Homo-oligomer: A and B are copies of this chain.
Amino acid sequence: MENKKGNIYLIPCTLGETPPLEVLPLLVKKAIENIDHYIVEHEKSARRFIKSVASKKQQNSLHVEEINKFTKPKEIPQMLEPCFNGFDVGIISDAGCPGIADPGAAVVEQAHQKGIKVVPLVGPSSILLALMASGFNGQNFAFNGYLPIDKVERKQKIKQLEKKSIVENQSQLFIETPYRNNQMLESLVKTLQNTTGICVACDITLSTQYIRTAPVKQWKRIKVDLHKRPAIFIIQG
């Protein structure tokens, strides 16, 4: 008989300074209390998060490995080793849900290949919360990550997403590096048709949360400073 393998737990975390249990359910707290092996985006912020959820946890008993976009596939098998010794392993990214616009998917991919059970836990995803709150089509939507930085390419991409949102009736979500958010909104307002809807959702779940949906025509008069505030943009023509 095979030894019982540990599972991979996908552990969402808060999207900023907010009391953890206001946005995370009890299973997240239980998982963190039980798990000592972690694969995380940044060790320092993950340890701070673990402490905020389970203050009695011994930090020096934790085994923490880092992953990011530079992690090579061949480095991952040893991170999954604890599972074969019967230990559960938690994956935690810097904000929100591991694997969604955040590291984690490469580890999960290998876990499936090795027959390790993968358990996703509930928590905040700015993408999902923004879409819920946008009033746009939630039956058909696409998340496109970052748009091109080059001005001409970006304009083309924005026009292409607008067309897609109309032809396929599919809401189009994307993000921007927070210090370029104001320029992104400006580009959208300049490039899109007057009747196309834009939703800007920023600082989601935080006390400064701002979520607004309006047609381009109205956005021309709206004043909001998105500088350095994490934001999701959604358009629907």
Binding site for B on A (CB under 8 A): 10, 21-27, 97-102, 104-112, 117-120, 122-125, 127-145, 170, 204-205, 209, 211-214
Contacting pair A128 B125 (CB below 8 A):
yes
Choose among B22, B140, B204 the residue that contacts A27 (Cβ–Cβ < 8 A). Answer: B22
A135–B122 contact, CB under 8 A? no
Known pairs A99-B132, A119-B133, A128-B128; list 4 more (Cβ under 8 Å). Answer: A100-B138, A112-B212, A122-B129, A127-B128
- Report yes or no: A101 in contact with B22, Cβ–Cβ below 8 A: no
Task: Please name all residues of chain B whose beta carbon is closer than 8 Å to the beta carbon of A129 when the two chains form the complex.
Answer: 120, 122
B contact residues around A211 at 8 Å (CB): 117-120
Known contacts A100-B128, A142-B142, A170-B142; decide if A135 and B111 are in contact (CB<8 Å).
yes
Bound Cα distance A122, B132 (Å): 10
A138 near B23: Cβ-Cβ < 8 Å: no
Q: Which of B124, B138, B143, B212 contacts A122 (CB 8 A)?
A: B124
CB-defined contacts of A128 to chain B, threshold 8 Å = 97, 100, 125, 127-128
What is the count of identical protomers in the complex? 2
In the complex, what residues of B have CB within 8 A of residue A131's CB? 99-100
Partner of A104 from B104, B138, B170 at Cβ < 8 Å: B138
Q: In the complex, A122→B119 CA distance in Å?
A: 18
Q: How many whole Å from A113's CB to the nearest CB in chain B?
A: 8
* A101 contacts across to B, CB distance below 8 A: 138-139
Q: B135, A112: Cβ atoms under 8 Å? A: yes
A108 adjacent to B125 (CB under 8 Å): no
| Distance A108 CA – B125 CA, assembled complex (angstroms) | 19
| B145 and A100 within 8 A (CB) | no
Given contacts A25-B23, A27-B22, A27-B23, contact A133 B145 (CB under 8 A): no
Q: Which residues of B contact A204 (CB under 8 A)?
A: 120
Q: Which residues of B contact A99 (CB under 8 A)?
A: 131-133, 135, 138
Instruction: Quote the shortest CB–CB distance from A135 to chain B (angstroms).
Output: 4
Smallest CB gap from A24: residue in B: B25
Taken together as a complex, chains A and B put the C-alpha atoms of A132 and B104 apart, in Å, by 8
Q: Which residues of B contact A214 (CB under 8 A)?
A: 112
Smallest Cβ distance from A115 to chain B, in angstroms?
A: 9
